[in-house]
Amino acid sequence: MATDIHSRFFELRQWMVEHEVTYRFLAPHLDISEACVQKMLRNSTIPTRHHRVLVSLGFPVDLLPKGKDRKPGPRPKIPNLPALCQQERRAIGA
């Protein structure tokens, strides 16, 4: 499996070089940093919203990671501090 991901990424990078597509170009389109673009394209799955953007830009679907949304993690706990008044607690979502 890791070999498949590696070869897919290698082919994707070749395609990007041939078409002069850079991480710097993709970052604003995906609304993430250049480093996150590179990391995301190395994964086996990417968020469906990013997959749609890449396909709309002309990326070959067979070279992209699968589009799959992951379940979000748990919400962070809000501390119950006496100094934190009720109105402030409501403002931060507690």
pLDDT in tens, 6-38: 899 999 999 999 999 999 999 999 999 999 999
Q: Is the pLDDT of residue 1 over 60?
A: no
Q: Is residue 82 part of a domain?
A: no
- Which of 92, 29, 91 is closest to 40 using CA atoms? 29
CA distance 44 to 61: 13
Class of residue 75 by CB neighbours under 10 A (exposed 0-12, middle 13-18, buried 19+): exposed
CA distance 40 to 43: 5
Q: Is the pLDDT of residue 92 over 90?
A: no
Quote the number of domains for the chain. Answer: 1
Q: Is residue 50 part of a domain?
A: yes
pLDDT of residue 86: 62
- Expressed as residue numbers, the domain containing 38 is 2-67
Confidence grade of residue 50 (pLDDT, cut at 50, 70, 90): very high
Q: Is residue 40 part of a domain?
A: yes
- Which of 53, 43, 46, 66 is closest to 21 using CA atoms? 53
| 53-75 mean pLDDT | 93
Q: Is residue 17 part of a domain?
A: yes
